Structure 1
């Protein structure tokens, strides 16, 4: 008998697509997708259950459906898609705590896979060339999505200590990119003119959406506990990315970029948060050695190839319909 997989966050595009993706795996018997609202697109053979992971009802869903594998994808990156920063934090942090409490009380649970983010490493001028999984941010995140992701990881590690019988795999993905992805970085790259921080040319790494689905599926079906950086091979400088887009850019001093960012946020054109500005100033590099050697996963798209696939489908007039911002 195959695995019974519960996927959180299926009302958002990446969660819905992954649930369909993993449902096609021969090693998986059933997939249950949960969220507070139904997904807008086709979910195929996935069984949808309307449930709020902030509520104790999630424990009943896990027990009733005999779930043995949980894939947590509902940590969201932008306050706009959640109805504000307070609601975003509640969904991300309180939701994770409640989900882990449900997992704690589920004797049949065997596997927990958590989609985290490389934003936990922050972005500063004192960063190493490449972060390995045992390194920490030089300056701990103090707000926004990065702080939520950092707290979520702490709760997941505590759960792993309490339930050593459960295989826990945490995937720290680089910025996910692809034709359909709506996130802080893709919203920035979709701007007709891109503001840049004067005097800086940050390094960027990307993870193609198809490789995100593949690595999550790999973690579900392989015995690979631990924390892993996940990104396409190689890096791109921001200047190289902008040239590939064929779009103009405007170098501005940091205060100028911050001012433009506030205008963009108020206009709901891009979530130009302080953490996003830091990333577009200093960039970030993550070492993926363990992804290759321990996790045993090879992305199909390199960072440049993932970016090119995104850029190829982009037009100056494109305005994708947000279905809830996906993860960065």
Structure 2
């Protein structure tokens, strides 16, 4: 059972939801949350430490608190939320490398839980009906969040080889949706007009935002389970999703994903990678037997119910205020780290603004 848990990405919505749920586990003695900006939401009894996982100083946080369980929730799915693709990749890839290096050096760490994505399976016309955890992508993601997640999972496997005593649980979530979370999917179905590939009706699977937090708690409290798919039961087609959203449709040829992605990015409304747009052409399905057998987790919402809950709350305008705050914090930490490298005597960036 975990005793001291460290959570990355605690200032983002899903990280905060997970932190609050984990605080209900009375057997856990201490919970530490780290991020580049202070949480804008309650995090229960979680102790907040302002720290950037891209900095080697994250190792000092883990070592000083004798952390035994690390929960990595700081892989960002949308570049607009992080301040651009370059910053997104730095946080996702460089940040994960530093965090895993810190875990490798810390003898106290016994369990690593990673929030990953079903996007590592890619999406193509050669895919199976349902991806099982031991299956590989028929077409690997080449850009964006999916590519970052493939790299992160590779680093996690490397850690498992170097430190076989650390138990690994890696959760590959279906696309997250809900009334309060901001994801690529909520942005897409909030567009004034929804582009839909002409001649295709992809199968989609979703996981409700509330179920993400509950699944991460199960992964943290249960024994290490390896790689586990997590998704709501059933599927929903693109046609059904668009009808439920009540938005007009713009039919686009599937071969125009590049220009479409460029136009959406230039509009400032949404930033999908071409690989994410492939999902709307070919769809994707997940086998979830391991979710029940290993995590003993049962989602509260089916795929359709999760989407209906998102729609019932009212599709929101695309508010960038929270994104700008987080992106500014990430940028400041990046500048401080560069200053530290140039001026070795300057103040430790991981300690600036630290609070609890």
What is the TM-score normalised by the length of structure 1? 0.94
SS in 2 for 1:115: strand
CA distance in 2, matches of 1:282, 1:111: 35
Output one character per residue of 1:130-186: Cα deviation in whole Å (capped at 9) or x when no partner: 111011111122211111000100110111122222211000000011111111111
The 5-angstrom pairing of residues 1-328 of structure 1 reads: 3-256=3-256, 258-315=258-315, 318-321=317-320, 323-324=322-323
Cα deviation, residue 299, structure 1: 0.8
* Paired residues of 1:196 and 1:257 also in contact (CA < 8 A): no
Q: Any stretches of 5+ residues in structure 1 without a counterpart?
A: none
CA distance in 2, matches of 1:19, 1:65: 17
* Paired residues of 1:7 and 1:15 also in contact (CA < 8 A): yes
* Paired residues of 1:182 and 1:322 also in contact (CA < 8 A): no
CA distance in 2, matches of 1:260, 1:65: 48
SS in 1 for 2:182: coil
Cα deviation, residue 260, structure 1: 3.7
Cα deviation, residue 256, structure 1: 4.8
Cα deviation, residue 321, structure 1: 4.8
CA distance in 2, matches of 1:269, 1:36: 25
Cα deviation, residue 320, structure 1: 4.2
Q: Any stretches of 5+ residues in structure 2 without a counterpart?
A: 327-356
Output one character per residue of 1:76-118: Cα deviation in whole Å (capped at 9) or x when no partner: 1122222222221111111111101100111111211000000
Cα deviation, residue 280, structure 1: 0.8
* Paired residues of 2:225 and 2:294 also in contact (CA < 8 A): no
SS in 1 for 2:233: coil
CA distance in 2, matches of 1:197, 1:72: 34
Cα deviation, residue 25, structure 1: 1.4
Identify the range of structure 1 (39-48 vs 192-201) with the bigger mean alpha-carbon deviation: 39-48
What is the TM-score normalised by the length of structure 2? 0.87
SS in 1 for 2:322: coil
SS in 1 for 2:169: strand
CA distance in 1, matches of 2:9, 2:238: 30
Cα deviation, residue 277, structure 1: 1.2
How well do the aligned residues superpose, as a CA RMSD in angstroms? 1.8
